[in-house]
Amino acid sequence: GFSAATLQREDTQEVIKKIGETINLFQTKDEELREFLSQHERESEENLVDKQIEPKTALFKQYLNLFAEESSLDDAIYYLAEALRNDVIDIQVFLKNVRALARKKFMVRALMNKVREQTNKCEIK
């Protein structure tokens, strides 16, 4: 007859067999995934999103950089206001920094307008 030890050994052998099958499956899937990733890394290097939306001329690139700078200045002013609202900074620190950022934003916006005028001149020609 079957003893408890024999049944336990058969159960253990079955578990070991299933573990081996699972390891083989994981190794196969790992190889497939590595192949997929290496193939798509090559494709992604060829089709980088940044290259797809990169400005074609220096003026457009300058305008894009100015736009990003203006947005970052807006963000900085917003977070200064939040810091003031939460009593992290006092009103003097807030006003001093907002004035400096607003001056810089004014200059950025003025330069953006000049670049926009230049790009319009280029498009008319």
> In this predicted model, which residue has the larger pLDDT, 44 or 4?
4
Please report, to the nearest 10 degrees, the dihedral formed by the alpha carbons of residues 10, 15, 16, 21 taken in order: 130
| Residue 94: predicted pLDDT | 96
Burial class (CB in 10 A: 0-12, 13-18, 19+), 76: middle
Is the pTM of the predicted complex or chain greater than 0.75?
Answer: no
State mean pLDDT over 80-107: 96
Query: For residues 4 and 57, what is the distance between their CA atoms, to the nearest angstrom?
Result: 81
Of the pLDDT bands very low, low, confident and very high (cuts 50, 70, 90), residue 47 is low
Residues ≥6 apart with Cβ < 8 Å to 77: 98, 101, 102, 105
| Residue 56: predicted pLDDT | 80
